[in-house]
Structure 1
């Protein structure tokens, strides 16, 4: 067991020195690796997304963005983190996934000197959401796993639902 903890600590130390973006959602602060974000933008161009029967399962995905010929599914960070609803003002377009995340504000970009493993008190979804914790300006800030916003399996389900709806709409239009 000590070998596992040792390797976790080494892995976290190796990530020290990475640039992160500090952002807020529903009154809480979070950090995400700057390398995971392709663009920070306003909310212009968002389109409503209707997922039919999948809507309950994917309540956090209500909109999409088409950008440079690619479709991004927009995750409401308040819904994702189970926080009080707040009015988002910015969108983080993720680099390695067809996903974007609405946030309330971007605070700053900074160099992260150290990150600690999650304490055992973090359980359930929280263990999937966060890579670790960082001390930034005297505050403990969770460092987000970008892939936790929308998994590859979730993207496949949403895309299949959209293809089905689009095919149905074409069939009705052609009738």
Structure 2
């Protein structure tokens, strides 16, 4: 009888990933290219008042509202001036970043070490090495959960109804 181990293997996966390298707070991160619909300037952002402190802005693009999250604030690192907005695919989420470096194919993704114990275990899919630097591969769904998006959409509907009543 063979007993399987429940521990994650430290061996890297060999699947190829095309990633976008971006910076936030002076650090480099990667996100799968297929998780990003568009990279744009930050023009057109509107202030968005909500109890959810992660979201301070929204953007309406082609009739769709995006809730905008600061990557630096999300990762709890020093906030620096942002110049780009990544609109994520399949979800109404935009991510403010300092800049976009380039697209790159990675061939190896290392599991997160045990030292990653807190929220960062949900933030990252794994680690890769690019030009001698360790770069975390971000989970796009970690910026805003489905529950948070539902609450934000409900907040927008409530605000729009209240505005219609007072008009």
Q: Does the pair score TM above 0.5?
A: yes
Checking the alignment, whether the CA contact within 8 Å between 1:60 and 1:77 is kept in structure 2 is no
Deviation at 1:2, TM superposition (A): 2.5
For residues 105 and 71 of structure 2, the distance between their equivalents in structure 1, rounded to whole angstroms, comes to 23
TM-score normalised by L of structure 1: 0.88
Instruction: State the shift of 1:164 in Å.
Output: 1.2
- C-alpha displacement of 1:5: 2.2
Q: Give the equivalent residue in structure 1 for 2:97.
A: 103
What does residue range 16-35 of structure 1 map to in structure 2 within 5 Å?
Answer: 16-35=15-34
Answering whether residue 143 of structure 2 is matched by residue 149 of structure 1, we say yes
CA RMSD of superposed structures (Å): 1.5
Q: 3-state SS of the aligned residue for 1:84?
A: coil
Aligned pairs, number: 164
Unaligned 5+ runs, structure 2? none
Equivalences for residues 50-89 of structure 1 within 5 A: 50-51=49-50, 54=51, 58-89=52-83
Please give the TM-score of this superposition, normalised by the length of structure 2: 0.93
Q: In the alignment, is residue 126 of structure 1 matched against residue 120 of structure 2?
A: yes
Asked if the contact 1:88–1:102 (Cα under 8 Å) also holds between the matched residues in 2, the reply is: yes
Once residues 31 and 131 of structure 1 are traced to their aligned partners in structure 2, the CA distance between those partners, rounded to angstroms, is 10
User: Given the superposition, is the C-alpha separation of residues 123 and 3 from structure 1 closer, same or farther in structure 2, using an over 3 Å criterion?
Assistant: closer
Preserved CA contact (<8 Å) 1:115 1:132: yes
1:93-124 alpha-carbon deviations (Å, 9 max, x no partner): 00021101000010111001101000010111
Deviation beyond 6 Å, 4+ runs, structure 1: none
